[in-house]
Amino acid sequence: MKKELEKLEFAEGYSKIGELKEGLEKFLISCGNNMTVCYTYSNKLIEIYGGDIMLENIPSQSTMTELLGQPLFEVWQELCSAIDEKYEMERLWNTGGKNWTYEYKYRRGGKTLCSLYAKSNCVGFMIIFGKDERAKFEDIRDTLSAAVCRQYDEAQTYHDGKWVMFEPANTSEFDDYIKMLAVKRKPNKK
């Protein structure tokens, strides 16, 4: 189990809090002030539940450049700059789940504006539109590119909103991204 948890760079400590049946164990993981519960089966991590677990070791520029490649790292930086220019937000690094290496989340007051994702040679940019926000999206649809509207239309809608993932390879859609962020939250920087 220790070896498995060492893969989770954000884990400062863990303690076994129960064995549910043979081979299935429940652990409590701590990271700063955050606590979360994970389940293992035969010493392999299978589920994690709980609050936001943040990465303790934020990836360096060289790590991100190696992961994304120089051209996409520049796209990542420019997208962050475009968001930072309009919004004063808390920024959280996290693991990227099973599909991504890293998640970089913009939030304020416990609400997420958007998230950037990174994996080998790929950048992801996700906005989740709630019910009211989907109606507002329709109001600005005519100002957005056909590619952005197509990605929106093809995105899956869940109980908590429409999860729209973009994979920018350049900066050409950034103006549209900023317009869509304004649907979620008015820019709070002048």
Dump pLDDT digits (tens) for 115-168.
Answer: 999 999 999 999 999 999 999 999 999 999 999 999 999 999 998 899 999 999
Give the tokens for residue 185.
Answer: 């939250």
pLDDT digits (tens, 9 = 90+) for 14-65: 444 444 445 555 555 544 444 445 545 455 544 444 444 456 678 889 999 9
Same domain, residue pair 132 and 157: yes
The pLDDT score that the predictor gives to residue 18 is 47
For residue 137, tell me if it sits in a domain. yes
Same domain, residue pair 66 and 46: no
CA distance linking residue 77 with residue 186, whole number of Å: 22
The pLDDT score that the predictor gives to residue 10 is 38
The pLDDT score that the predictor gives to residue 117 is 97
For residue 45, tell me if it sits in a domain. yes
Place of tokens 């049946």: 21
For residue 189, tell me if it sits in a domain. no
The pLDDT score that the predictor gives to residue 58 is 84
Same domain, residue pair 87 and 114: yes
Give the tokens for residue 54.
Answer: 């943040």
Last residue of a domain, one of 50, 75, 90: 50
Phi, psi of 91 (to 5 degrees): -120, 130
Same domain, residue pair 94 and 153: yes
Same domain, residue pair 38 and 80: no
Same domain, residue pair 73 and 22: no
For residue 56, tell me if it sits in a domain. no
Exposed / middle / buried, residue 137 (Cβ in 10 Å: 0-12, 13-18, 19+): buried
Give the tokens for residue 86.
Answer: 């309009």
Same domain, residue pair 113 and 83: yes
For residue 110, tell me if it sits in a domain. yes
For residue 190, tell me if it sits in a domain. no
SS3 159: coil
For residue 94, tell me if it sits in a domain. yes
Same domain, residue pair 168 and 83: yes
How many domains does the chain divide into? 2
Average pLDDT over residues 108-113: 91
Same domain, residue pair 21 and 84: no
Same domain, residue pair 34 and 100: no
Give the tokens for residue 172.
Answer: 């050409």
Q: In which domain, by residue range, is 152 found?
A: 61-184
